[in-house]
Amino acid sequence: MRINTQFEMINKKLIIDLINMGDREIIITCDYLRTIKKSTNNNKHLGQACLELAMMGNLNAMHTMSIIFSYGLMCKQNKEEALYWIIKSVNKKFYPSFLTLANFYSQEWANLKRDDKKSIELIKKAALNKFLPGITMLGICYKSGEQIVQDNRKAIKYLKEASNLGDEMAMWFLSAMILHKLKIKDQSEGIFWLKESAKNKCPFAHNTLAYFYLDGSHGLEKNKDLYNYHIDMELSLKKKLVSQSLERL
């Protein structure tokens, strides 16, 4: 065994906080841990079971161990172990790990020096291999100008590609670009993508729509009932994500 890890009870408060901040990776992590729990001995700690799978070469488990160690999800935070497992899974072409390693480079994680070039290369590789969150992330990078030269045209290109493939977060970011950054007079396309994002259960889209209806802005008429509806939907979706993520963990 690589290290003698003392696993603890899963930090449910941390999970709730991360979900409320929009961290989709933690939701995927909880889903995978629940899958392990269904198929493992109840006497074995869930973290230990995941670690053993990772050591046997399971790519999902490797990625999950990196998340567990990076957040201190059910053990003490260990940046070196988080980096070890993410690099192993990246070397096996596990594209979800490409985005995590990209984030590590941007944060100067463990012994890594900040390297925006390596970070964006990893995101581009994930996107070019049609990993949907990678396409979205590449669009976001071009939108913000972080790690790469800001380029509205390329941001729109990748966010539209991801939106057309059904990514609700891409839809939300795309709508924000159209409605705010590009300052187009006809904002109907931006509203279209915002409503599509809400239909696809993005709580942030519901929040945005709520305040548009409250203010009567971006071509929408003031409507207190729709404001209340979208606020209720935002809270309901967040509660459901938390409930589903923590279920049976």
What pLDDT digit, counting tens, does each position of 120-176 carry? 999 999 999 999 999 999 999 999 998 899 999 999 999 999 999 999 999 999 999
Residue pair 28/96 in contact by the 8 Å Cβ criterion: yes
Domain boundary among 32, 65, 91: 91
Which amino acid is it at 114?
A: R
Q: Which residues contact 70 (CB under 8 A, 6 or more apart)?
A: 77, 79, 82, 100, 109
Domain boundary among 70, 91, 112: 91
Alpha carbon separation from 202 to 55, 114, 141 (Å, rounded):
35, 31, 20
Tally of domains within the chain: 3
Distance (Å, whole) CA 18 – CA 12: 10
User: 40: domain range?
Assistant: 6-91
Look at residue 248 and tell me if it is in a domain.
no
Going by the DSSP 8-state scheme, the letter that residue 23 receives in this structure is -
Look at residue 113 and tell me if it is in a domain.
yes
Domain boundary among 67, 91, 115: 91
Q: What is the pTM of this model?
A: 0.91
